[in-house]
Amino acid sequence: MLWIIVAILLGLSLLTWIFLIYSLFQEYRYATLFIDMLPFYQPLNFFALLSVVVSSYLILYIYEWSPPQWIAPLVLSIGLILNLSLIYFFRKWSNCYKLSVYADFLDELKKEQYSVKRFSEFNQTPQLDKNKIHVFLRHDVDLSLNRLLNIIKIEKEKNISSTLFFRLHSEKYIFEKSIPIIQYLHSEGFEIGFHYEVLSQTEGNTEEALVLFTKELNKLREYTPIKVVSPHGDKYSNQKIWSLVDKAKLDVWSTYDMKRDIYITDAGGKNMFKQHGSHIFDKLKEAKLGDVVQILIHADWWY
């Protein structure tokens, strides 16, 4: 009986691992949960290893099969290899999303050759200074307001102002909760944008989506000025309606309209280390004077 309880517990830990891996690769909306679980990943890993071993022995016991002697070291080795690969993979992955890495990146942006601008400055400035690298730093606020505030705290310390694109229908925060944060950020000199997902809401109905676009933009404008929008990426690919939006009448433009020389993004929580161990942030070093660099960071991944 005790063995069955132990096996169930360990089996559950294995399932947790499968869920975590699945959430990382398939279901972006679970990302915050995944990050929240990171401190536990080593104990989980240990239990996953144990569950492999115990479950195997339990199966042998139930079926009353006395295995040849080499079975035990084989099961143990497979469990160990699985365990070590998980540790290796998660170490590598989690190291690219440390807030300290982001803070170092901001220090780089503070250097003399860079000029970090709010998104609305792109259209308002007819001629960008040819002696600077122009950096437009943006955050699409997909899931977590708390993680956003972690990033904002660092930006405030470094005296860097980004542009923040808020959703009205996040799976993880309700719009009303974001209003005081939006107002606070606006008063602190950050620019606010609209992260639209109207095509997803109307399940692909373009006409309804266009009506909704105006309605939601105006709703957000009740709290803060909005000049720029960015589309939320999901299966409905919201940027598709942008060509139909009456930009002049609504007085907005999209991040997609920006002609950029370099684009740096953490979209999808991908591994930020490119080949040969260089981080995606190193792409910044390829920028030349006069270039426009757009950087998109999702706070949800950073911890």
Interaction between residue 117 and Zn ion (CB under 5 A)? no
List helix spans (H) across 96-232.
99-109, 120-124, 145-158, 175-187, 198-201, 206-221
Distance CA 118, CA 160 (A): 10
Measured from the CB of residue 108, what is the shortest distance to Zn ion in angstroms? 25
C-beta closer to Zn ion: residue 45 or 170: 170
C-beta closer to Zn ion: residue 172 or 227: 172
DSSP three-state, residue 219 = helix
Measured from the CB of residue 89, what is the shortest distance to Zn ion in angstroms? 25
C-beta closer to Zn ion: residue 134 or 139: 139
C-beta closer to Zn ion: residue 156 or 169: 169
Measured from the CB of residue 298, what is the shortest distance to Zn ion in angstroms? 7
- Count of residues that bind Zn ion according to CB under 5 A: 3
Measured from the CB of residue 38, what is the shortest distance to Zn ion in angstroms? 21
Distance CA 80, CA 294 (A): 43
Q: Which of 154, 140, 165, 86 is nearest to 301 (CA)?
A: 140
Window 120-149: residues binding Zn ion (CB under 5 A): 140, 142
Measured from the CB of residue 82, what is the shortest distance to Zn ion in angstroms? 33
Q: Which of 11, 21, 77, 8 is nearest to 48 (CA)?
A: 11
Stretch that binds Zn ion, among 9-17, 131-139, 228-236, 249-257 (CB under 5 A): 228-236
Measured from the CB of residue 91, what is the shortest distance to Zn ion in angstroms? 27
By Cβ distance, which residue is nearest to Zn ion? Answer: 232
C-beta closer to Zn ion: residue 55 or 163: 163
> Residue 180, class by beta-carbon neighbours within 10 Å (0-12 exposed, 13-18 middle, 19+ buried)?
exposed
Interaction between residue 232 and Zn ion (CB under 5 A)? yes
CB atoms within 10 A of CB 76: 14
Sole residue written with tokens 């602190």: 188
Residues in the site for Zn ion, rule: CB under 5 A?
140, 142, 232
